[in-house]
Structure 1
């Protein structure tokens, strides 16, 4: 499907469609091959987990019914940026910037790299 997404791990996003529409959270995982993301506190599902044989030795392996986040489609989230101290949603654009790179032998050369920009503010994300 898609090889790259408009959002990355650690971005603050707002859900714009689905049962959690309007919620804001941080992306904790990205699956570019599937075009899906996991947002903290969004699309919560309950999973039944059995105890492992050596449950007494592992404290963090809780058994029972566990609530966790499930992936949602990346098209259902929009990036949130700070504009004048307020959180606002924005589209993501891309620009090519010239940078100076250094080779292992010490010589320098110019190249371009792609950076994400917020369409609302025009600033680099």
Structure 2
């Protein structure tokens, strides 16, 4: 079984728009990416209530129990990247860059960058 890293158009810190599901139309910041499950966690979207137990570890170290509201992951296909407040599709472009070695010499290398399909600008 090969374990290859999946390529995602969405990264942590991106501003996204939810395009499907119960929170359709909501905007938020990506606070986590779960590559293995094809899911992202978006701030303020898909909020669920979790019941937590009291964990007594002696003294003040224990956590209090109760109901905590937290964000649950949503599928990456249900979000779209925002650029200047408008949803855009994401493309990739290979740019040639000059890199410097520790000894001071330079060499040419390629770097993959995300670009907006609408404007062509780098994201």
Offset at residue 119 of structure 1 (A): 1.2
Q: Summarize deviations over 1:12-57 as a string: whole Å, max 9, x none.
A: 0000000000000000000112110000011111110011104761
Q: How does the TM-score come out when normalised to structure 2?
A: 0.90
In structure 1, list runs of 5 or more residues that go unmatched: none
Aligned partner of residue 33 in structure 1, secondary structure: helix
Give the corresponding residue for 2:51: 48
Judge conservation of contact 1:2–1:35 (CA < 8 Å) in 2: no
Judge conservation of contact 2:55–2:64 (CA < 8 Å) in 1: no
What is the count of residue pairs matched by the alignment? 120
Q: How does the TM-score come out when normalised to structure 1?
A: 0.89
Structure 1 consecutive aligned stretches of length 4 or more whose deviation exceeds 3 Å:
none
Is structure 2 residue 25 aligned with structure 1 residue 22?
A: yes
Judge conservation of contact 1:92–1:116 (CA < 8 Å) in 2: yes
Aligned partner of residue 8 in structure 2, secondary structure: coil
Is structure 2 residue 4 aligned with structure 1 residue 9?
A: no
Q: Determine the C-alpha separation between the residues in 2 that align with 1:2 and 1:94.
A: 16
Evaluate the alpha carbon distance shift between residue 91 and residue 63 of structure 1 in structure 2; reply closer, same or farther with a 3 A threshold: same
Q: CA RMSD in A?
A: 1.8
